[in-house]
Amino acid sequence: MPWLSIIVTLVSFLLAGGAKKENRVKAAAIGLAAGAATYGVTHYTDWGKDNLGSIDGVVPTGSGTAVAGTTPDGKVVTPSVKDPATTGGSGFWNGVGGIISSPVGAAATGVVAGSLFGIPTKTLIIGGLLVGGFLLLRN
């Protein structure tokens, strides 16, 4: 989940005066631009991946290639690389993270966040469907 991009978007929105009704459009545009720029830096530049990627959900792939070795009895041993997003315990927070990262959880989180800023739920759902349709049909 791109947490850094989300945090930068929300902080930019609030600092640009998003709490005032007359400034919401301008603040939303500033927040969107700041969040998109943060996402672009952390996902598409080497510097961003190395320095900020772990905060924004980028899983490092490593710069080298894995080399297979052999044991003394001649068996070939291939190194295994575990994805840090899927390994670990099965505690409460992993369950919450799984729910939020699901499509329904993401939509519910977006609706709750939007309603905190006074955006009607129907507008958020229709906007989300339009953005999702665009992303599916653009290829």
Domain boundaries, the chain: 1-58, 111-139
Of 64 and 88, the one with more pLDDT: 88
CB 57 within 8 A of CB 3: yes
Mean pLDDT confidence for 112-119: 75
**Binning pLDDT at 50, 70 and 90, where does residue 67 land?**
very low
d(CA 60, CA 53): 8
d(CA 124, CA 130): 10
Calculate what percentage of the chain has a pLDDT beyond 90.
Answer: 0
Report pLDDT for 73: 73
Mean pLDDT confidence for 28-33: 89
| Residue 90 pLDDT exceeds 80 | no
Report the 10 Å Cβ neighbour count for 104.
9
pTM comes to 0.44
| Residue 21 pLDDT exceeds 70 | yes
Mean pLDDT confidence for 99-123: 72
Of 26-30, 75-79, 105-109, 118-122, the one with minimum mean pLDDT is: 75-79
Of 5-14, 59-68, 69-78, 113-122, the one with minimum mean pLDDT is: 59-68
User: CA 31 → CA 6, 14, 34, 47, 88, distances in Å?
Assistant: 9, 8, 5, 22, 34
Structural element, H or E, at residue 76: strand 76-77
User: CA 77 → CA 47, 61, 63, 82, 108, distances in Å?
Assistant: 33, 20, 20, 16, 45
Mean pLDDT confidence for 61-65: 48
The closest of 37, 39, 35, 17 to 26, measured between CA atoms, is: 17
Q: Which amino acid, 44?
A: Y
